[in-house]
């Protein structure tokens, strides 16, 4: 195993063991070794959190272990986020992000936030259990092009539909693009909900936001040409 792989493994294992101190140390060592924070998140921290999610489901882990793991991961993210935010000087596109109404699972959403921030987006994080109207109000207020919604539960998938319907009613559909993701969400659900894009993980979230922003820019350009 090379030095970088060894650090990725330490990041992953210290999240799994919920060892905040060792996780912070691994996060700092990653920086010292010249590892891109974005890579440290995807190849280390997020991989660890996936294992923890599975262990929790298999009843190998219980709530205290889960929360310790999340705490360790957040400690490392805190070290990385300010560095990632500093990377872009130009005007940033805004993304409204939140966990839909009825759902409080936010670990995946927080990883998505880190990755979008790393990619140079200004993420407006509405937190968990976000009422559908709030997504829309904030998008309008902030003039954001993208609303990104996360949900881990099947019943709360309908909250996504609610946001889509409200966008339609307000005549904002297509102007504000929607991206959905989270444990229960699939490409098929994207079509069922009428959303614009689905992202399978935090890395995919970035590619999909890039695509949506390109689409918005192309549409604006076309409008301008037509009105000339
Ligand atoms: C941790 C956990 C909890 C924790 C949450 C802690 C927290 N702060 O988030 C606690 C213990 C509180 C909890 C509570 C509950 N939970 Co729970 N929980 C889980 C568990 C084990 C892991 C979820 C997780 O964090 N995974 C790790 C992260 C990193 O993965 P992720 O969320 O999928 O995110 C990745 C991608 O999906 C994607 N992504 C995520 N969001 C977004 C958004 C966008 C826009 C994009 C593009 C991508 C994207 O990128 C992320 C990173 O790559 C899952 C089972 C599992 N193995 O998934 C059950 C699970 C989600 N829980 C479940 C349930 C039912 C509940 C409860 C109702 C239980 C209860 N009876 O009380 C409550 C929910 C209360 C509520 N109203 O929300 C069910 C949902 C079933 C369903 N299909 O509806 C699951 C699937 C367990 C199961 N098999 O039954 N839970």
Residue-range domains of the chain with CATH: 3-85 (1.10.1240.10), 94-226 (3.40.50.280)
pLDDT at 139 over 70: yes
Separation CA 43–CA 15 (nearest Å): 12
129 Cβ below 6 A of ligand 1 = no
54 Cβ below 6 A of ligand 1 = yes
pLDDT tens for residues 164-199?
Answer: 999 999 999 988 999 999 998 999 999 999 999 999
pLDDT at 12 over 90: yes
105 Cβ below 6 A of ligand 1 = yes
Record the tokens describing residue 162, joined without a space.
């609610």
pLDDT at 90: 57
Tell me the pLDDT band of 58, cut-offs 50, 70 and 90.
Answer: confident
pTM for this entry? 0.87
Indicate if the alpha-carbon torsion angle 45, 50, 53, 54 is positive or negative.
negative
pLDDT at 88: 53
Q: Which long-range contacts does 20-23 make (Cβ < 8 Å, 24+ apart)?
A: 20/68, 20/71, 20/72, 20/75, 22/72, 23/72, 23/73, 23/75, 23/76
Shortest-distance atom of ligand 1 to CA 183: 33
pLDDT at 37 over 70: yes
pLDDT at 114: 78
Instruction: Give the least confident one: 45-49, 127-131, 201-205.
Output: 201-205
Specify the residue with its C-alpha closest to ligand 1, atom 80. 153
Pairing of strands 177-181, 146-150: parallel
Tell me the pLDDT band of 163, cut-offs 50, 70 and 90.
Answer: very high
């Amino acid at each position: 195993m090379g030095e970088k792989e060894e650090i990725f493994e330490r990041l992953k294992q210290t999240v799994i063991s919920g060892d905040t101190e060792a996780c912070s140390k691994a996060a700092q060592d990653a920086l010292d070794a010249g590892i891109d924070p974005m890579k440290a998140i995807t190849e280390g921290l997020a991989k660890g959190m996936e294992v923890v999610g599975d262990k929790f489901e298999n009843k190998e882990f219980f709530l205290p272990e889960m929360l310790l793991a999340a705490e360790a991961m957040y400690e490392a993210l805190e070290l990385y986020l300010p560095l990632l935010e500093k990377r872009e000087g130009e005007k940033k596109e805004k993304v409204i992000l939140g966990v839909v109404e009825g759902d409080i699972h936010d670990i995946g959403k927080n990883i998505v936030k880190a990755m979008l921030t790393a990619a140079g987006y200004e993420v407006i994080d509405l937190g968990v259990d976000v009422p559908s109207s709030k997504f829309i109000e904030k998008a309008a207020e902030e003039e954001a092009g993208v609303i990104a919604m996360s949900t881990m539960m099947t019943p709360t998938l309908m909250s996504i539909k609610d946001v889509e319907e409200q966008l339609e009613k307000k005549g904002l559909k297509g102007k504000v693009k929607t991206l959905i993701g989270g444990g229960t969400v699939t490409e098929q659900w994207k079509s069922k909900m009428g959303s614009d894009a689905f992202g399978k993980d935090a890395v995919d979230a970035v590619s999909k936001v890039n695509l949506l922003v390109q689409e918005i820019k192309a549409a604006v350009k076309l409008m301008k040409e037509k009105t000339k």
